[in-house]
Copies of this chain bind each other. A is one copy, B any other.
Protein backbone atom coordinates (compact mmCIF):
# COMPACT_ATOMS: atom_id res chain seq x y z
CA UNK A 1 0.00 0.00 0.00
CA UNK A 2 1.20 3.52 -0.72
CA UNK A 3 2.90 5.30 2.17
CA UNK A 4 2.31 8.97 2.88
CA UNK A 5 3.54 11.20 5.69
CA UNK A 6 1.87 14.05 7.47
CA UNK A 7 4.21 16.35 9.35
CA UNK A 8 2.61 18.58 11.95
CA UNK A 9 4.36 21.95 12.05
CA UNK A 10 1.89 24.41 13.50
CA UNK A 11 3.20 24.60 17.07
CA UNK A 12 4.34 27.78 18.77
CA UNK A 13 7.25 26.29 20.71
CA UNK A 14 6.90 28.67 23.63
CA UNK A 15 9.19 26.66 25.80
CA UNK A 16 12.15 27.69 23.64
CA UNK A 17 11.55 31.35 24.20
CA UNK A 18 13.30 33.73 23.58
CA UNK A 19 14.96 31.90 20.67
CA UNK A 20 11.63 30.55 19.46
CA UNK A 21 9.00 33.20 18.86
CA UNK A 22 5.50 33.31 17.53
CA UNK A 23 7.10 34.29 14.23
CA UNK A 24 9.78 31.58 14.40
CA UNK A 25 8.78 28.53 16.44
CA UNK A 26 11.04 25.70 17.54
CA UNK A 27 10.47 23.45 14.52
CA UNK A 28 12.04 26.08 12.26
CA UNK A 29 15.13 26.47 14.45
CA UNK A 30 18.30 24.46 14.53
CA UNK A 31 18.90 23.15 18.02
CA UNK A 32 21.36 20.42 17.13
CA UNK A 33 25.00 20.67 16.15
CA UNK A 34 24.50 20.04 12.42
CA UNK A 35 22.80 23.34 11.63
CA UNK A 36 19.66 21.74 10.18
CA UNK A 37 16.30 22.86 11.48
CA UNK A 38 14.05 20.39 13.28
CA UNK A 39 11.51 20.25 10.46
CA UNK A 40 14.27 19.67 7.90
CA UNK A 41 15.55 16.77 9.98
CA UNK A 42 12.02 15.37 10.30
CA UNK A 43 11.49 15.41 6.53
CA UNK A 44 14.92 13.90 5.84
CA UNK A 45 14.28 11.16 8.32
CA UNK A 46 11.10 9.92 6.65
CA UNK A 47 12.29 10.22 3.03
CA UNK A 48 13.74 6.70 2.72
CA UNK A 49 10.17 5.47 3.22
CA UNK A 50 8.05 8.17 1.60
CA UNK A 51 8.43 10.02 -1.68
CA UNK A 52 8.62 13.85 -1.31
CA UNK A 53 5.49 14.11 -3.46
CA UNK A 54 3.64 12.15 -0.78
CA UNK A 55 4.85 14.16 2.21
CA UNK A 56 2.32 16.70 3.52
CA UNK A 57 3.05 19.44 5.99
CA UNK A 58 0.28 21.04 8.03
CA UNK A 59 1.28 24.35 9.50
CA UNK A 60 -0.13 27.68 10.53
CA UNK A 61 -0.51 30.00 7.57
CA UNK A 62 1.90 32.43 9.25
CA UNK A 63 4.63 29.83 8.85
CA UNK A 64 3.97 28.91 5.22
CA UNK A 65 6.93 30.98 4.00
CA UNK A 66 9.21 29.24 6.52
CA UNK A 67 8.16 25.82 5.27
CA UNK A 68 8.66 26.87 1.63
CA UNK A 69 12.09 28.23 2.48
CA UNK A 70 13.28 25.30 4.54
CA UNK A 71 11.64 22.42 2.64
CA UNK A 72 11.89 23.47 -1.01
CA UNK A 73 11.51 19.98 -2.54
CA UNK A 74 7.97 19.25 -1.38
CA UNK A 75 5.12 20.28 -3.74
CA UNK A 76 3.57 23.57 -2.67
CA UNK A 77 0.14 21.94 -2.82
CA UNK A 78 1.24 19.60 -0.01
CA UNK A 79 1.71 22.47 2.40
CA UNK A 80 -1.63 22.78 4.15
CA UNK A 81 -2.25 25.87 6.22
CA UNK A 82 -4.50 26.05 9.24
CA UNK A 83 -6.14 29.47 9.62
CA UNK A 84 -5.96 28.96 13.40
CA UNK A 85 -4.45 26.25 15.57
CA UNK A 86 -7.06 23.76 16.87
CA UNK A 87 -4.66 21.15 18.27
CA UNK A 88 -3.79 17.86 16.58
CA UNK A 89 -7.18 16.28 15.79
CA UNK A 90 -8.31 18.94 13.24
CA UNK A 91 -4.72 19.17 11.97
CA UNK A 92 -4.53 15.44 11.23
CA UNK A 93 -8.06 15.46 9.88
CA UNK A 94 -7.18 18.25 7.43
CA UNK A 95 -4.24 16.21 6.15
CA UNK A 96 -6.36 13.07 5.94
CA UNK A 97 -9.14 14.59 3.83
CA UNK A 98 -6.60 16.09 1.41
CA UNK A 99 -4.83 12.75 1.14
CA UNK A 100 -8.06 10.83 0.73
CA UNK A 101 -9.02 13.11 -2.15
CA UNK A 102 -5.69 12.47 -3.84
CA UNK A 103 -4.96 8.83 -3.01
CA UNK A 104 -8.25 7.30 -1.99
CA UNK A 105 -6.67 5.21 0.69
CA UNK A 106 -3.02 4.88 1.79
CA UNK A 107 -0.96 4.35 4.90
CA UNK A 108 -0.42 7.66 6.65
CA UNK A 109 2.56 8.30 8.93
CA UNK A 110 1.91 11.19 11.30
CA UNK A 111 4.95 12.90 12.78
CA UNK A 112 5.49 16.01 14.88
CA UNK A 113 8.04 18.33 13.25
CA UNK A 114 9.97 19.10 16.40
CA UNK A 115 11.18 15.83 17.86
CA UNK A 116 14.72 14.55 17.78
CA UNK A 117 15.60 10.96 16.91
CA UNK A 118 19.07 9.62 17.41
CA UNK A 119 19.02 6.24 15.69
CA UNK A 120 17.44 6.82 12.29
CA UNK A 121 17.74 3.28 10.97
CA UNK A 122 15.97 1.90 14.03
CA UNK A 123 13.32 4.58 13.58
CA UNK A 124 12.80 3.64 9.93
CA UNK A 125 12.60 -0.03 10.75
CA UNK A 126 9.96 0.73 13.41
CA UNK A 127 8.01 2.83 10.90
CA UNK A 128 8.07 -0.01 8.38
CA UNK A 129 6.71 -2.41 10.97
CA UNK A 130 4.08 0.11 11.97
CA UNK A 131 3.02 0.58 8.32
CA UNK A 132 2.65 -3.16 7.83
CA UNK A 133 0.47 -3.42 10.93
CA UNK A 134 -1.55 -0.31 10.03
CA UNK A 135 -2.45 -1.86 6.66
CA UNK A 136 -4.35 -4.52 8.62
CA UNK A 137 -6.67 -1.91 10.11
CA UNK A 138 -5.68 -0.69 13.59
CA UNK A 139 -4.55 2.73 14.71
CA UNK A 140 -0.85 2.26 15.44
CA UNK A 141 1.01 4.49 17.82
CA UNK A 142 4.73 4.54 18.49
CA UNK A 143 5.45 4.09 22.17
CA UNK A 144 8.89 4.80 23.57
CA UNK A 145 10.41 2.38 26.08
CA UNK A 146 10.93 4.63 29.13
CA UNK A 147 14.33 4.84 30.77
CA UNK A 148 13.30 7.20 33.57
CA UNK A 149 10.10 8.15 35.41
CA UNK A 150 9.44 11.22 33.27
CA UNK A 151 6.60 13.42 34.44
CA UNK A 152 6.55 15.50 31.26
CA UNK A 153 5.14 12.78 28.97
CA UNK A 154 1.84 10.99 28.62
CA UNK A 155 2.03 7.21 28.97
CA UNK A 156 0.43 4.32 27.10
CA UNK A 157 -0.53 1.15 29.00
CA UNK A 158 -0.28 -1.93 26.81
CA UNK A 159 -1.50 -5.49 27.23
CA UNK A 160 1.60 -7.71 27.11
CA UNK A 161 -0.29 -10.83 26.10
CA UNK A 162 -2.24 -9.44 23.14
CA UNK A 163 0.19 -8.89 20.30
CA UNK A 164 -0.26 -7.97 16.66
CA UNK A 165 3.01 -8.58 14.88
CA UNK A 166 5.50 -6.86 17.14
CA UNK A 167 2.85 -4.43 18.42
CA UNK A 168 0.84 -4.70 21.61
CA UNK A 169 -2.81 -3.89 22.04
CA UNK A 170 -3.29 -0.62 23.93
CA UNK A 171 -5.23 -0.83 27.16
CA UNK A 172 -5.23 2.85 28.07
CA UNK A 173 -3.77 6.27 27.34
CA UNK A 174 -2.83 8.15 30.53
CA UNK A 175 -2.02 11.81 31.09
CA UNK A 176 1.29 13.12 32.44
CA UNK A 177 1.74 11.44 35.85
CA UNK A 178 3.33 12.74 39.04
CA UNK A 179 6.74 11.41 40.05
CA UNK A 180 5.49 8.55 42.24
CA UNK A 181 2.95 7.39 39.66
CA UNK A 182 5.63 7.53 36.97
CA UNK A 183 7.91 5.36 39.10
CA UNK A 184 5.07 2.85 39.44
CA UNK A 185 4.59 2.85 35.64
CA UNK A 186 8.25 2.05 35.11
CA UNK A 187 8.23 -0.71 37.71
CA UNK A 188 5.09 -2.30 36.19
CA UNK A 189 6.83 -2.73 32.80
CA UNK A 190 3.45 -2.15 31.13
CA UNK A 191 3.77 1.49 30.21
CA UNK A 192 5.43 3.25 27.29
CA UNK A 193 5.87 6.96 26.64
CA UNK A 194 3.37 8.44 24.22
CA UNK A 195 5.54 9.88 21.46
CA UNK A 196 2.74 11.53 19.51
CA UNK A 197 3.78 9.64 16.37
CA UNK A 198 1.07 7.59 14.66
CA UNK A 199 0.61 5.31 11.69
CA UNK A 200 -2.77 4.37 10.24
CA UNK A 201 -4.68 4.11 7.03
CA UNK A 202 -6.41 7.27 5.82
CA UNK A 203 -9.68 5.33 5.92
CA UNK A 204 -9.06 4.20 9.51
CA UNK A 205 -8.40 7.64 10.97
CA UNK A 206 -11.30 9.20 9.07
CA UNK A 207 -13.66 6.50 10.34
CA UNK A 208 -12.46 7.13 13.87
CA UNK A 209 -12.80 10.89 13.54
CA UNK A 210 -16.36 10.37 12.32
CA UNK A 211 -17.14 8.13 15.28
CA UNK A 212 -15.49 10.10 18.08
CA UNK A 213 -15.50 13.68 16.78
CA UNK A 214 -18.51 13.79 14.43
CA UNK A 215 -18.77 17.62 14.39
CA UNK A 216 -15.14 17.98 13.43
CA UNK A 217 -15.54 15.29 10.80
CA UNK A 218 -18.48 16.98 9.13
CA UNK A 219 -16.48 20.23 9.00
CA UNK A 220 -13.58 18.32 7.47
CA UNK A 221 -15.92 16.89 4.83
CA UNK A 222 -17.04 20.41 3.95
CA UNK A 223 -13.39 21.44 3.64
CA UNK A 224 -12.69 18.42 1.48
CA UNK A 225 -15.59 19.20 -0.82
CA UNK A 226 -14.28 22.72 -1.35
CA UNK A 227 -10.70 21.69 -2.25
CA UNK A 228 -9.82 23.19 -5.62
CA UNK A 229 -12.93 25.41 -5.72
CA UNK A 230 -13.14 29.20 -5.36
CA UNK A 231 -14.61 28.73 -1.90
CA UNK A 232 -11.74 26.56 -0.62
CA UNK A 233 -10.16 29.26 1.50
CA UNK A 234 -13.44 30.63 2.86
CA UNK A 235 -14.69 27.19 3.85
CA UNK A 236 -11.38 26.27 5.46
CA UNK A 237 -11.48 29.49 7.43
CA UNK A 238 -15.08 29.08 8.53
CA UNK A 239 -14.77 25.43 9.54
CA UNK A 240 -11.48 25.80 11.37
CA UNK A 241 -12.78 28.73 13.38
CA UNK A 242 -15.71 26.53 14.40
CA UNK A 243 -13.64 23.45 15.32
CA UNK A 244 -13.27 22.56 18.94
CA UNK A 245 -9.63 22.49 19.96
CA UNK A 246 -8.92 18.81 20.52
CA UNK A 247 -5.84 16.61 20.60
CA UNK A 248 -5.92 13.37 18.66
CA UNK A 249 -4.80 11.60 21.85
CA UNK A 250 -7.75 12.80 23.89
CA UNK A 251 -10.32 13.11 21.11
CA UNK A 252 -9.63 9.85 19.31
CA UNK A 253 -7.00 7.55 20.80
CA UNK A 254 -8.41 7.46 24.32
CA UNK A 255 -11.82 6.46 22.94
CA UNK A 256 -10.97 4.26 19.96
CA UNK A 257 -11.06 0.48 20.20
CA UNK A 258 -8.62 -0.99 17.76
CA UNK A 259 -5.34 0.60 18.80
CA UNK A 260 -1.96 -0.94 19.12
CA UNK A 261 1.39 0.34 20.19
CA UNK A 262 4.83 -0.51 18.92
CA UNK A 263 7.47 -0.37 21.62
CA UNK A 264 10.34 1.64 20.21
CA UNK A 265 13.75 2.70 21.36
CA UNK A 266 15.47 4.92 18.82
CA UNK A 267 16.84 7.73 21.00
CA UNK A 268 13.68 9.81 20.98
CA UNK A 269 13.47 13.26 22.53
CA UNK A 270 10.45 15.51 22.28
CA UNK A 271 12.74 18.53 22.84
CA UNK A 272 10.16 19.90 25.21
CA UNK A 273 12.27 22.64 26.77
CA UNK A 274 15.73 24.15 26.85
CA UNK A 275 16.75 21.24 29.07
CA UNK A 276 16.68 19.05 25.95
CA UNK A 277 19.73 20.93 24.71
CA UNK A 278 21.71 19.11 27.40
CA UNK A 279 20.65 15.80 25.88
CA UNK A 280 21.15 16.82 22.25
CA UNK A 281 24.40 18.75 22.26
CA UNK A 282 27.83 17.83 23.47
CA UNK A 283 28.76 19.44 26.77
CA UNK A 284 32.29 20.46 27.69
CA UNK A 285 34.28 19.11 30.62
CA UNK A 286 32.36 21.33 33.03
CA UNK A 287 29.01 20.03 31.82
CA UNK A 288 28.29 23.29 30.02
CA UNK A 289 26.64 23.44 26.62
CA UNK A 290 27.88 26.68 25.17
CA UNK A 291 27.24 28.51 21.90
CA UNK A 292 28.36 32.00 21.02
CA UNK A 293 30.92 34.43 22.41
CA UNK A 294 31.14 33.16 25.96
CA UNK A 295 33.64 33.49 28.81
CA UNK A 296 32.73 31.08 31.61
CA UNK A 297 34.45 31.21 35.02
CA UNK A 298 33.60 28.66 37.73
CA UNK A 299 30.49 27.72 35.81
CA UNK A 300 29.02 24.23 35.70
CA UNK A 301 26.06 22.33 34.21
CA UNK A 302 24.89 25.45 32.44
CA UNK A 303 23.39 25.99 29.00
CA UNK A 304 24.48 29.22 27.32
CA UNK A 305 23.10 30.05 23.88
CA UNK A 306 24.25 33.38 22.58
CA UNK A 307 25.43 35.10 19.45
CA UNK A 308 28.10 37.72 18.78
CA UNK A 309 27.62 39.56 22.03
CA UNK A 310 30.04 38.70 24.80
CA UNK A 311 28.44 36.72 27.61
CA UNK A 312 30.49 36.44 30.80
CA UNK A 313 29.22 33.75 33.18
CA UNK A 314 30.76 33.73 36.65
CA UNK A 315 29.93 31.18 39.33
CA UNK A 316 26.85 29.81 37.58
CA UNK A 317 25.49 26.34 38.19
CA UNK A 318 22.49 24.64 36.66
CA UNK A 319 21.38 27.67 34.65
CA UNK A 320 19.97 28.38 31.22
CA UNK A 321 21.10 31.58 29.52
CA UNK A 322 19.67 32.41 26.11
CA UNK A 323 20.54 35.72 24.51
CA UNK A 324 18.87 37.12 21.40
CA UNK A 325 19.06 40.64 19.95
CA UNK A 326 15.98 41.93 21.77
CA UNK A 327 15.45 39.54 24.67
CA UNK A 328 17.56 37.70 27.19
CA UNK A 329 16.48 34.74 29.30
CA UNK A 330 18.27 33.69 32.47
CA UNK A 331 16.58 30.73 34.07
CA UNK A 332 17.48 28.21 36.73
CA UNK A 333 17.14 24.75 35.16
CA UNK A 334 14.60 23.51 37.70
CA UNK A 335 12.43 26.49 36.75
CA UNK A 336 12.47 25.78 32.99
CA UNK A 337 8.74 25.12 33.14
CA UNK A 338 8.15 28.66 34.39
CA UNK A 339 9.29 30.29 31.15
CA UNK A 340 5.57 30.25 30.29
CA UNK A 341 5.01 32.66 33.15
CA UNK A 342 7.27 35.16 31.44
CA UNK A 343 5.19 34.84 28.28
CA UNK A 344 1.97 35.18 30.27
CA UNK A 345 3.34 38.33 31.79
CA UNK A 346 4.33 39.70 28.39
CA UNK A 347 0.84 38.99 27.07
CA UNK A 348 -0.80 40.65 30.07
CA UNK A 349 1.38 43.72 29.61
CA UNK A 350 0.71 43.70 25.86
CA UNK A 351 4.39 43.32 25.00
CA UNK A 352 3.51 41.17 22.01
CA UNK A 353 6.70 42.19 20.23
CA UNK A 354 8.56 39.70 22.43
CA UNK A 355 6.22 36.76 21.92
> Which residues of A line the B interface, CB within 8 A?
17-18, 295, 297-298, 306, 309-317, 319, 321, 323, 325-332, 334-336, 338-339, 341-342, 345-346, 351, 354
A297, A325, A334 — most chain B CB neighbours (10 Å): A297
Q: Contacts A297-B341, A310-B346, A316-B330 given; 17 further ones with Cβ under 8 A?
A: A18-B310, A295-B346, A297-B335, A297-B338, A297-B345, A298-B335, A309-B326, A310-B326, A310-B327, A310-B328, A310-B354, A312-B329, A312-B342, A313-B331, A314-B329, A316-B332, A319-B330
Known: A297-B342, A338-B298, A345-B297. A332 touches B315 (CB 8 A): yes
List of B residues within 8 angstroms of A325 by Cβ: 309
Number of copies: 2
Q: Determine whether the beta carbon of A315 is less than 8 Å from that of B331.
A: yes
Distance of A246 Cα from B327 Cα, bound (Å): 45
Nearest to A351 among chain B residues (CB) is B310
Distance of A297 Cα from B17 Cα, bound (Å): 14
Nearest to A344 among chain B residues (CB) is B297
Known: A295-B346, A341-B297, A345-B297. A314 touches B326 (CB 8 A): no
Minimum CB–CB distance from A18 to chain B (whole Å) comes to: 7
Nearest to A314 among chain B residues (CB) is B331
Nearest to A332 among chain B residues (CB) is B315
Distance of A246 Cα from B328 Cα, bound (Å): 43
List of B residues within 8 angstroms of A321 by Cβ: 330
Q: Determine whether the beta carbon of A328 is less than 8 Å from that of B354.
A: no
Minimum CB–CB distance from A275 to chain B (whole Å) comes to: 13
Candidates B311, B317, B323, B330; contact of A314 at CB < 8 Å? B330
Nearest to A304 among chain B residues (CB) is B330
Q: Can you give 29 contacting A-B residue pairs, CB < 8 Å?
A: A18-B312, A295-B342, A295-B345, A295-B346, A297-B335, A297-B342, A297-B345, A298-B338, A310-B326, A310-B327, A310-B328, A310-B346, A310-B354, A311-B328, A311-B330, A312-B328, A312-B330, A312-B339, A313-B330, A314-B329, A314-B331, A314-B336, A314-B338, A314-B342, A315-B331, A315-B338, A316-B331, A316-B332, A328-B328
Q: Determine whether the beta carbon of A312 is less than 8 Å from that of B327.
A: yes
Distance of A321 Cα from B311 Cα, bound (Å): 11
Q: Determine whether the beta carbon of B295 is less than 8 Å from that of A314.
A: no
Nearest to A339 among chain B residues (CB) is B314
Minimum CB–CB distance from A343 to chain B (whole Å) comes to: 9
Nearest to A318 among chain B residues (CB) is B315
List of B residues within 8 angstroms of A314 by Cβ: 329-332, 335-336, 338-339, 341-342
Minimum CB–CB distance from A32 to chain B (whole Å) comes to: 24
List of B residues within 8 angstroms of A306 by Cβ: 328
